[in-house]
A and B are shown apart, each in its own frame.
Chain A
Amino acid sequence: GDSVTQMEGPVTLSEEAFLTINCTYTATGYPSLFWYVQYPGEGLQLLLKATKADDKGSNKGFEATYRKETTSFHLEKGSVQVSDSAVYFCALSDYGQNFVFGPGTRLSVLP
């Protein structure tokens, strides 16, 4: 079945550091890919998404590019802020059916 693998956390960075959170997937079809974020005490919300190969999703300074050849959707940000501290979930949706989420990666950004 479909699956999503994310890098193990927690990830701790200093403010203004570069962030990469790796995500790879396996899918039988041609999935859409998502990053969701869960800030402390809040519900999950969509951060960005991409629906086809080589698409780049971007939001709030975060970016991720759909790489079909490497089945990856790594999340990047050039300069993180304390307010980016959260848990980040990579997910896929195959033909709009049920979503499959990765285990989440906790990011802590220190001032």
Chain B
Amino acid sequence: GAGVSQSPSNKVTEKGKDVELRCDPISGHTALYWYRQRLGQGLEFLIYFQGNSAPDKSGLPSDRFSAERTGESVSTLTIQRTQQEDSAVYLCASSLSGAGVGETQYFGPGTRLLVL
């Protein structure tokens, strides 16, 4: 079946503008993750959704960042009043349940965000 998709693939915005990034997980996957990857850096966890449970927002760097997920489908990551330091690749991943031992995460291609 189809993999994880993300849109847009690239986004250039001006400092202070809001941006919205979208993730479509693999159908049937109840767990969804957002990560940030700055140039030459590792992955930084942002937020985790699992089924109908309250999301784990512990990785969100500031209150300018928020994310929503509709049921077990699409998720949107919103960054308000963007700053240049927000420039990075934003990666989305999904997994079957998020609770299984050794469960694999499947990653999307990422959205490359550039804040001018």
Contact = CB atoms under 8 A, between A and B. Distances in A.
Contacts of A42: 109
B38 to A, nearest CB: 11
Nearest to B31: A96
Interface stretch (A15-23, A45-53, A67-75): A45-53
Q: Give the secondary structure class of A's interface.
A: strand
- Per DSSP, chain B at the interface is loop
Interface in A89-106: 89, 93, 95-104
Interface in B45-71: 45, 48, 56
Contacts of B109: 42-43
B25 interface: no
A44 B100 CA distance: 20
Contact of A49 (B35, B99, B104): B104
Contact of B98 (A45, A97, A102, A103): A97
Nearest to B47: A98
Contacts of B100: 96
A96 B33 CA distance: 12
Contacts of A51: 101-102
Contact of B102 (A36, A89, A93, A104): A93
Interface of B: 33, 35, 41-43, 45, 48, 56, 91, 93, 97-110
Interface of A: 32, 34, 36, 42-46, 49-51, 89, 93, 95-104
8 contacts: A44-B43, A44-B93, A44-B107, A89-B43, A96-B102, A97-B48, A99-B105, A102-B42
